[in-house]
Amino acid sequence: MAATDHTADIRDAGLRVTRPRLAVMAAVDAHPHAETEAVLAAVREELPGVSRQAVYDVLHALTDAGLIRRIQPSGHVSLYETRIADNHHHLVCRVCGDVRDVDCAVGEAPCLEAVDDHGFRIDEAEVIYWGVCPACAANTDTTRAPDDPGGATR
Binding residues: 93, 96, 108, 133, 136
C-alpha distances (whole Å) from 151 to each of 72, 141, 147 are 28, 8, 10
Q: Which of 80, 130, 89, 83 is nearest to 109 (CA)?
A: 89
Residue 72 near residue 79, CB atoms below 8 Å: yes
Dihedral through CA 54, CA 59, CA 64, CA 68, nearest 10?
Answer: 150
| Numbered residues of the known binding site for Fe cation | 108
Side chain identity at residue 152, one-letter code: A
Phi, psi of 81 (to 5 degrees): -150, 155
| Numbered residues of the known binding site for Zn(2+) | 93, 96, 133, 136
3-state secondary structure of 8: helix
